Amino acid sequence: MTDRPATEAWPQSYGDEAQERIGFFTDTSVCIGCKACEVACKEWNLVPEDGLVFTGDSYDNTGSLGADSWRHVAFVEQGGEDGDPLRWLMSSDVCKHCTHAACLDVCPTGALFRTELGTVVVQDDVCNGCGYCVPACPFGVIERRERPADDGDGGVHKCTLCYDRTREGMTPACAQACPTESIQFGPLEELRHRAAGRLAQAVEAGATGARLYGEDPADGVGGFGAFFLLLDEPEVYGLPAAPVDATRHLPSMWRAAAVAGAGLVGAVALALLGGRE
DSSP string of 44-111, one letter each residue? HHTPPP------SSSS-SS-S-BTTBSSEEEEEEE--STTPPPEEEEEEE-----SS-HHHHH-SSS-
- CA 93 vs. chain centroid, Å, equals 9
Residues belonging to the chain: 277
In the predicted model, is pLDDT for residue 256 greater than 80?
Answer: no
pTM for this predicted structure: 0.84
Least confident of 43-57, 122-136, 164-178: 43-57
The chain-wide mean pLDDT, for the chain, equals 87
Q: Which amino acid is at 115?
A: T
Long-range contacts for 2-5 (Cβ within 8 Å, ≥24 apart)? 3/189, 4/187, 4/188, 4/189, 5/99, 5/118, 5/188, 5/189, 5/192, 5/217, 5/222, 5/223
pLDDT of residue 56: 72
Q: Which element (helix H / strand E) includes 268?
A: helix 250-276
Give me the residues paired with residue 91 across strands: 74
Whole-number Å distance between alpha carbons of 162 and 160: 5
pLDDT of residue 254: 42
In the predicted model, is pLDDT for residue 38 greater than 60?
Answer: yes
Q: Cα dihedral angle (261, 110, 104, 133), rounded to 10 degrees?
A: -80
- Percentage above 70 pLDDT, the chain: 86
In the predicted model, is pLDDT for residue 150 greater than 60?
Answer: no
